[in-house]
Amino acid sequence: MTVSEERSKKSHAGEHTTAGPPAGSLRSVLRFDLPASFVVFLVAVPLSLGIAAASGAPLIAGLIAAVVGGILGGLISGAPLQVAGPAAGLTVIVAGLVAQFGWAATAAITVGAGIVQILLGLSRVGRLALSLSPAVVHGMLAGIGVTIAIGQLHVMLGGANQGSVLTNLIELPGQIIGLHPGALLVGALTIAVMVLWPKLPRVNVVPAPLIAVGAGTAVAAGFQLDLARVSLPSDIINEVVLPQLPSGPVLAIIGGVLTVALVASVESLLSAVAVDKLHDGPRANLDKELVAQGVANTVSGALGGLPVTGVIVRSSTNVAAGAKSRWSTILHGLWMLLAVLLLASVLRQIPMAALAAVLIVIGVRLVSVAHMKQLWRHREMVVYAATLLGVIAFGLVEGVLVGLAVALVRAFYRLTHSTVDVANEDGRWYVGVRGSLVFLGAGRLVRELRAIPLRESVVLELHVDFMDHGVFEAINDWRIGYERTGGQVRVDEVLDSWYHRAIGGRPARRKSVRPNVPPRWFAPWSHWQQTEPLDVELPAQAQNEDHLIAGIRAFEKHAAPLVRPFLSDLAEHGQKPQQLFITCSDSRVLPNLFTSSGPGDQFSLRNVGNLVPGFGEDASVGSAIEYAVDVLGVQEIVVCGHSDCGAMKAVLAQSVTGPSALHDWLRYAEPSLLRLAATAGEDAELPANERLCLANIGQQLENLLSYPNVAAAVAAGKVRLVGMYFEISSAKVFLLDADRRALRDITV
């Protein structure tokens, strides 16, 4: 039984503590969700009215959507902390549908979109929406932001939204000449408050949109400005416009339903994922969230409301305000309902210029400079720009399709692109090929190969993750023809054996590295060499080449360029290792591998049995310890034993007899035998040689303290002694506890 198997039988008691009442409990709702719901409600009121106005819908439609999204969406949501309601991202789409079909028909289209969302959620395709390129999504949002900002600028200047971005830009000079000074004053004040309020200390817990709209309304009332204001009917309930079946081209109606459904779904799912990053509670169930959004849209459209989506502005406000459960979202919907029924007279005092100013700020913020920088670093700016300009020039759906087309072209290029590097070194030609090899790139590769002079020695190195039949034939035909003219060709494959397997009649079909073959930089040379097809006749040089020399050649070709900068720096500034690592000479024990360390990290001392003779007993070990502590100033000394240790087996069986150097050396392990006898009965399930391995680690740590410089450094807190055990069969590392009698699993 190994140490891992023995330890797996032991159970460990754990403690569970919570920072407060459980989420969803009455105490948690009163303490966290109730206050948060008021904050979200104050943000949602001006946004719902402004989005409805920008969409060309009745203002009551925005409030209905907020109520339904909050109460119904919150009850069945798959993302409990996400807040649903009317969203700025759908403004352009809804405005276009209202202009084409009228508001009543648009409400019916919203019902149809909700049904489509429910079907998508039940089909468990919610997560597929996240496959949409982020560059397209951010470009779409930026295009929407520009469209909203330019359109609402007319409203803030006292005019009306002219429709398309191009029309608004053409009419803007005339609107500026004929601006309404009062509307401009209210709008400018609202924008200033929106920008400056969040920067004020201690007061920014109150939402900026609420304060901004309140300030604009107060100025309009104080100066008795003659401005267009929120128009709510006196009898709100009887003025609700219920849906009617749209009349017009069937394809246009179906397109409207699918557009609303898909855009609302993508925005909701992206918002849910973003909200997950803001809290440490339960993760969102995207399929359930899609069903919830569909139900909310079906009901909202049936009641004459705007389309509903999950919105990041209100959702992030919800999390920041301390919400712990879905009750915050539900309560915010209740407050919206009470506002519609009881505060209609207050809402009618809000100037449209103030709501337009709020939307201008929101629209500008959708054009995120931070996202642009990230996309630029990842070389996705072309997709972003194409989507943004497409949305502005042609409309939302057309712009997204343009962005998707550009993204697909770039993805196709990246998937099929390969690099070919040709170099002549020491009389031999090296051709390095990296990427995916498909027939589209075969022509370029063959041109590079044919440019190599005849009757030369060529090494073709394939660093590829895929090779189709067309490229294989092109390479193989060139190789056969080149060798007929007297040249020599050797094909080396680094990631996988696509070429050699194809020669052997076993071509691969999937773009993946074989899972059962270790990477060549990691596995022993003999292991990966034997994985090559046996029916392939390798060149004589490759067959007869010494394993050691071949390994050095592989290092110089592949690893040396990567590690050279680090070694150059170490050569210039000297070594400053943090550890003296004492371990066994066993070939299976690779400290740099299981400690994830590299050049300059460890000062190593290896011998048979990882033994540390006492002070003055062995000059070789003693000099290494003194140099590590006094000269290099290491901070740790690690003694690492391992399972299946041949030295410990020999000591236990007394199988090495003298006179011999090995016999003399293993006498230093006799104190470990005495230590094993003193711990008889402990870890009885382990074999005796494994228990001796553990006892030996503790003994060598004690031997280290016999060195005066080590004892002084440990006492001063400058050096720490660490016992470590490496189990070969499971590739698992354990630490020795402070009492040096038990192992501790570092992963627990």
Q: Does residue 7 form part of some domain? A: no
What's the average model confidence in pLDDT over 72-76?
A: 91
Specify the pLDDT at position 518: 47
Does 539 score more than 50 pLDDT? no
- pLDDT at residue 17, as a whole number: 36
Q: How many domains does the chain divide into?
A: 3
Average pLDDT over residues 25-33: 82
What is the Cα–Cα distance from 268 to 118, expressed in whole angstroms?
13
Residues 534 and 658 both lie in one domain: no
What is the bridge-based pairing of β-strands 428-437 and 418-425?
Answer: antiparallel
pLDDT band of residue 516 (cuts 50, 70, 90) is very low
As a residue count, the chain comes to 748
Confidence at residue 309, expressed as pLDDT on a 0 to 100 scale: 92
Range scoring the smallest mean pLDDT among 238-247, 338-347, 699-708: 338-347
pLDDT of residue 531: 44
Cβ pair 46, 350 in contact under 8 A: yes
Tell me the per-residue pLDDT of 337-350, one tens digit each, with 9 for 90 and over.
888 788 777 777 88
585-599 average pLDDT score = 90
- Looking at the fold, whether 451 and 376 belong to one and the same domain comes out as no
Tokens coding 528: 């990966």
551/586 same-domain check? no
Q: Are residues 74 and 135 in the same domain?
A: yes
* Same domain, yes or no: 676 and 741: yes
**Does residue 410 form part of some domain?**
no
Say whether both 377 and 239 belong to one domain: yes
In a domain, 182, yes or no: yes
The domain boundary, picked from 556, 589, 617, lies at 556
Q: Per-residue pLDDT for 89 more than 70?
A: yes
Tell me, letter by letter, the H, E, C secondary structure of 557-600.
HHHHHHHHHHHHHHHHHCCCCCEEEEEECCCCCCHHHHCCCCCC
How far lies 668's CA from each of 128, 339, 648, in Å? 64, 86, 11
Indicate if 426 and 369 belong to the same structural domain: no
The CA angle 244-246-250, to the nearest 5 degrees, is 150
Mean pLDDT of 605-619: 94
Is 130 contained in some domain?
yes
SS3 162: coil
State the pLDDT at residue 277: 66
Residue with tokens 């074989």: 514
Residue 518 shares a structural domain with residue 372:
no
Q: Is the pLDDT of residue 331 over 90?
A: yes
Q: According to the model, what pLDDT value does residue 315 have?
A: 81
The pLDDT of residue 646 is 92
In the predicted structure, residue 393 carries a pLDDT above the cut 60: yes
Res. 519: pLDDT tops 70: no
- The pLDDT of residue 535 is 38
Report residue 409 as tokens: 């072209």
Higher local confidence (pLDDT), 736 or 386 = 386
CATH of the domain at 725: 3.40.1050.10
699: its two tokens = 């003994």
Domain assignment of residue 277, yes or no: yes
Instruction: Note whether residue 198 is domain-resident.
Output: yes
With tokens 């998707």, the residue in question is 404
Amino acid at 104: A
CA atoms within 13 A on the CB side of 478: 23
Beta bridge pairs of residue 404? none
- Percent helix, strand, coil in the chain, to 5, is 60, 10, 30
Q: Order of strands, edge to edge, in the sheet holding 428-437?
A: 418-425, 428-437, 457-467, 488-493
pLDDT at 530: 46
The region of weakest confidence among 49-53, 69-73, 439-443, 532-536 is 532-536
Residue 468: per-residue pLDDT? 85
169-188 pLDDT per residue, tens:
888 888 888 888 999 999 99
Omega before residue 687 within 30° of 0, cis: no
- Which domain range does residue 724 map to? 575-745
- pLDDT tens across 437-467, in order? 888 778 888 999 999 999 999 989 888 878 8
Position 5 in a domain: no
Q: Is 161 or 722 the better-scoring residue by pLDDT?
A: 722
Positive or negative: CA dihedral 111, 115, 121, 125: negative
Query: Are 50 and 146 found together in one domain?
Result: yes
CB burial of residue 243 (10 Å; 0-12, 13-18, 19+): buried
Active-site residue set: 584, 586, 588, 642, 645
Q: How far is CA 390 from CA 121, 302, 382, 478, 527, in A?
A: 29, 32, 12, 46, 54
H or E segment to which residue 44 belongs: helix 34-55
Q: pLDDT tens-digit profile of 102-112?
A: 999 999 999 99
pLDDT tops 70 at residue 551: yes
Q: Look at residue 567 and tell me if it is in a domain.
A: no
**First vs last C-alpha separation in the chain:** 20
* CA distance linking residue 538 with residue 618, whole number of Å: 50
Give the list of residues 6+ apart from residue 26 with CB closer than 8 angstroms, or none. Answer: none
Name the packing angle between helices 396-416 and 91-101 (round to 10°).
130
> What distance in Å separates the CA atoms of residue 298 and residue 301, rounded to the nearest whole number?
5
Single residue among 524, 556, 588 that ends a domain in this structure: 556
- Going across the sheet that includes 579-584, the strands are 602-607, 579-584, 636-642, 720-727, 732-736, 743-745
Share of the chain above pLDDT 90, in %: 32
pLDDT of residue 155: 85
Question: Chain-centre distance of CA 187, in angstroms?
Answer: 40
Same structural domain for residues 204 and 317?
yes
Which residues, at least 6 apart from 344, have a Cβ–Cβ distance to it below 8 Å?
A: 232, 234, 236
Residues 126 and 233 in one domain: yes
How many CB atoms lie under 10 A from the CB of residue 90? Answer: 27
Final residue belonging to a domain, choices 337, 371, 388: 388
State residue 449's pLDDT score.
Answer: 92
Q: What is the CATH number of the domain that holds 552?
A: 3.30.750.24
Cα gap 691→1, rounded to integer Å? 11
Q: Looking at the structure, tell me whether residues 484 and 359 fall in a common domain.
A: no
Band (pLDDT 50/70/90 cuts) for residue 514 is very low
Taking the C-alpha atoms of residue 305 and residue 310, their distance in angstroms, rounded to an integer, is 15
Question: Looking at 116-120, 134-138, 388-392, 544-548, which range is the least confident one?
Answer: 544-548
Q: What is the largest CA-CA distance in the chain?
A: 112
570 pLDDT band, cuts 50/70/90, is confident
